Structure 1
Amino acid sequence: MNVIRKVALAIFKDKKMLLARSAKHETAFFAPGGKIEAGETEQEALIREIQEELSSRIDMATLEFLVEVEGPAHGKTDSVVNIRLYSGNLLDKPRPSGEVAELEYFNTTIDEKHHTASGKLIFTALKKKGLID
């Protein structure tokens, strides 16, 4: 089984988390972030991905590790995805950029069609921590 290593950023507002929908997916939303490239640290990957996806910069002084989840990779039957999720503030207002078509804040009442398997794991962990409703 192939393991895809990713890092993502949790951005919270009113007990909801910002999720992004890529142009490749009609309904599924993901935590902003992406694959860690060879030779990159998690923080370097996060900085690059947030700039690419949200046209924004992370306030690195606010960056904090939250949780690690592993589950089925969305749309891939031969892979699992390992996601290390951080929280942090942005220095700029997030805007859809690059492969991102839409941004929206969600809580645990998110419609099932917008969720992924790893997203469910993330939301369960964040609800237990009291970070989202």
Structure 2
Amino acid sequence: MVRVELEDIAVSADENQFLVLLRSEKGELLPIQIDALQAIAIAAGRSAEKTERPLTHDLLVSVLEMLGATVARVEITDLIEGTFFSMLVLERSGVQFDVDARPSDALAVAARTQAPIFVAEHVLEENSLRDEFGSSGGAEA
């Protein structure tokens, strides 16, 4: 697994396509296609924006806190037939639990909890943009 940072959310000129951009320490950029609502959820988490009522990801974080669990990390584990797979790795009383999650949901939770994000090496190697022109594109979350 390679640690990455949630660098940005890119929007196409026509505002119909969104990409979440994850960057490794080596500079590799992994684009993951998301929809508008997912982009809003991730952006809201990144800005620590408070809403009048909790959004779904805020609710999940609150429930985890009440149960004494933390988000240890997010793992982007695979890319199969154009779909990324990920896990929320939760920790409670020294025990870890892997929870299957859509990458967009996992990243929205990570943005709210400052949990570290990791990508499987093979996913990063096969799908990252290594230069300004890009050698491959993103798939859907």
Task: Confirm or deny a common fold (TM above 0.5).
Answer: no
Larger RCO (alpha carbons 8 Å, 6+ apart): 1
Q: TM-score, normalised by structure 2?
A: 0.29
Q: TM-score, normalised by structure 1?
A: 0.30
The structure with the largest helix share of the pair is 2
